[in-house]
Amino acid sequence: MKIAVINFSGNVGKSTVARHLLLPRVEGADLISVESLNATEGQTQTIRGTQFADLQEYLQTVASAVVDVGASNVEQLLELMRQYRGSHEDFDVFVVPTVPALKQQQDTIATLVELSRIGVPSSRVRLLFNMVDDRDELERSFHPLLRFVSDHPIAKADPACWLGENEIYGRLKTTGMDIGELVRDTTDYKALIAKAGDSAEKLALAHKLATRRLAHGVQPELDACFAALALESVLA
């Protein structure tokens, strides 16, 4: 399965969704960050035709991939998809994360409209409600977006497909670790803390213990959100 994680808006958690929700649950998938294609440190990256051609060619060589499209690249990516007619078919599904802020909901609507314009059918577009404070208030918080999708059914919007805010994503941002690794970790941190020689070492171990506890707490939420995406139905 090949998945694009996309939204015109920044700050909706695309990289979190790509790295921590999708990548561990799509067997054998590679993670591709579009912003990193041929980029050098400190540069603002845009996609050019040759790079998009390279991406298309690469996607033909792998069975599964998760492509994280940076917000600064979405407009160029969709324009190139229009030029390379039919290239959107290289992706089995487009996952569009969104958050409660009105500006991000408006950008999400614009993203859905553009995907529809280039020919992506609604069955291959999934909304993901991210940074949800209160599950019971989700439909009220996302009312403008849900109303739009109800009036214009160009994407699948299942309120069961949601993720809450969680400190663990910030903790893992610079470590390269994934939540599954933490869940599988059996280290007895309490014993190590008891044996530690100084307070700095104790605090470092306590931080690892707290992070593992967060991982155990968030894993069922990630599993439920992935199940609600119902990605297997796209391939049926």
Q: What is the pLDDT of residues 198-231, one digit of tens each?
A: 999 999 999 999 999 999 999 999 999 999 999 9
pLDDT of residue 47: 61
Superfamily covering domain 2-171+221-235: P-loop containing nucleotide triphosphate hydrolases (3.40.50.300)
8 A C-beta contact, residue 28 and residue 139: no
The winner for highest mean pLDDT among 26-30, 57-61, 126-130 is 126-130
- CA–CA distance, 109 with 23 (Å, rounded to integer): 25
Domain ranges of the chain: 2-171+221-235
Q: Which residues contact residue 70 at a Cβ distance below 8 angstroms, ignoring those fewer than 6 apart?
A: 10, 14, 33, 34, 35, 45
Q: What is the pLDDT of residues 116-175, one digit of tens each?
A: 999 999 999 999 999 999 889 999 999 999 999 999 999 999 999 999 999 999 999 877
- CA–CA distance, 23 with 3 (Å, rounded to integer): 10
- CA–CA distance, 54 with 188 (Å, rounded to integer): 46
